[in-house]
Structure 1
Amino acid sequence: MSSKTPSPCIGVCKFKRETHCIGCSMTKTQKSMFKTLKGEKYRRAFLTFVIHQQSALGRYRHWAPAYLKRCAKKGVSVDLP
């Protein structure tokens, strides 16, 4: 089992909301940035940032269930705020 926090990406990847993905709220730059994060604490902090970004942007209620399903599939336990 992996303990590495997966990317907040849920596989939608359509950038229609002012350069933000309609699936996860990340911009293309943020998606690239997540891939460079080495430490688990940085990956978790980035995940928290994305959740706050989704809250500010609105219309991302679909994300949490999809992300938790993805984490479960990868065998990773994640507590979302």
Structure 2
Amino acid sequence: MSKKIPSPCIDVCKFRRAGHCIGCSMTKSQKKLFKAIKRPDQQEAFVEMLVCQQKQMGRYTHWGPAYLKKLRKKKAKMKITLEG
């Protein structure tokens, strides 16, 4: 796992749902935190936490396919499985 994992952001960036982005569910502070994380294993753990957050909040079924497309484009791989 040498490649950096791309940000979970899918370039929607509309903070509505109680400060959470309607595209990826991250808050502004979570976006800053992800940028500060340098180790790929920690980035992957962050994405896993984000998936749990999205499941809890609901209405984020569009994110998985969009993020998988971003991963393929950047040629990045993750150990976790994203549901589409």
Same fold (TM over 0.5): yes
Q: Measure, in 1, the Cα distance between the counterparts of 2:43 and 2:32.
A: 13
Query: Identity across aligned pairs (percent)?
Result: 52
Q: Does 1:33 align with 2:36?
A: no
Q: Which residue of 2 aligns with 1:71?
A: 71
Q: Which amino acid aligns with 1:56?
A: Q
Taking structure 1 as the reference length, the TM-score comes to 0.93
SS of the aligned residue for 2:16 comes to strand
Query: Between Structure 1 and Structure 2, how many residues are aligned?
Result: 80
Q: Does 1:58 align with 2:61?
A: no
Q: CA RMSD in A?
A: 1.2
Unaligned runs of 5+ in 2: none
Give 1:4 deviation, angstroms. 1.1
Unaligned runs of 5+ in 1: none
Q: Which residue of 2 aligns with 1:80?
A: 81
Q: Which amino acid aligns with 1:32?
A: K
Q: Which amino acid aligns with 1:76?
A: A
SS of the aligned residue for 2:4 comes to coil
Taking structure 2 as the reference length, the TM-score comes to 0.90
Give 1:3 deviation, angstroms. 1.8
Q: Measure, in 1, the Cα distance between the counterparts of 2:34 and 2:22.
A: 17
